[in-house]
Chains A and B, each alone.
Chain A
Amino acid sequence: EAGVVQSPRYKIIEKKQPVAFWCNPISGHNTLYWYLQNLGQGPELLIRYENEEAVDDSQLPKDRFSAERLKGVDSTLKIQPAELGDSAVYLCASSLNSGAYNEQFFGPGTRLTVL
């Protein structure tokens, strides 16, 4: 069974440029998460989807970040425009449903460097 797929694995852009990350969750998983992992820190939730609905986007900086999950499967996270402080690893995870009893499976992440 394929795991969570993310692309690209690495991205280098100049500040003020836009960037997009793509995530394909495990087949059949209804819940999808985007996390931000800064260097030396644990992951922090940006947004959680239940199917195609964003049920928790309280930590998403909405002035420059946006996300979508069309048809409740793949998801895209966008930053426009990128800032130097956005350099980090962006992780996607999925689970069958939300709740502590449903294991979250993580993708390998996209490492973003903003110059």
Chain B
Amino acid sequence: AQSVTQLDSQVPVFEEAPVELRCNYSSSVSVYLFWYVQYPNQGLQLLLKYLSGSTLVESINGFEAEFNKSQTSFHLRKPSVHISDTAEYFCAVYGRDDKIIFGKGTRLHILP
């Protein structure tokens, strides 16, 4: 069965510092991976996704994630965070039964 593990429930980081949010997955079928972001009092929004092709995928607001098959990881990175990046981030994998399986989320705290 597919599963997702987000190793950190909370990550504090200073503004303009780099950040990495870790995600490991388990899947026995073709791997489709996603990062969703949930800003305070809003619904989830798709941040980026890996479906096929290049293993490095980018979002429009400077985040990137790299699909690493050997390490079964899909870590999310940003070289310089802003206060507006404060949110909860969910890693997810697409399951064989047409379900998205979400991790428990990582809350990103930006410190001034």
Give chain A's interface residues, CB within 8 Å of chain B.
3-4, 40-45, 48, 56, 91, 93, 98-101, 103-104, 106-109
Contact = CB atoms under 8 A, between A and B. Distances in A.
Interface of B: 4, 9, 32, 41-46, 49, 51, 90, 92, 94, 97-100, 102-105
Chain A binding surface, main DSSP class:
loop
A5 B51 CA distance: 28
A91 B46 contact: no
Nearest to A107: B43
A42 B51 contact: no
A42 B43 contact: no
Most chain B Cβ neighbours within 10 Å, of A4, A41, A42, A98: A42
A113 B108 CA distance: 25
Contacts of B94: 100
Contacts of B49: 103
Nearest to B90: A42
A100 B51 CA distance: 8
14 contacts: A40-B104, A41-B105, A42-B104, A43-B44, A43-B102, A91-B43, A91-B44, A93-B43, A98-B98, A100-B51, A100-B94, A104-B46, A104-B100, A109-B43
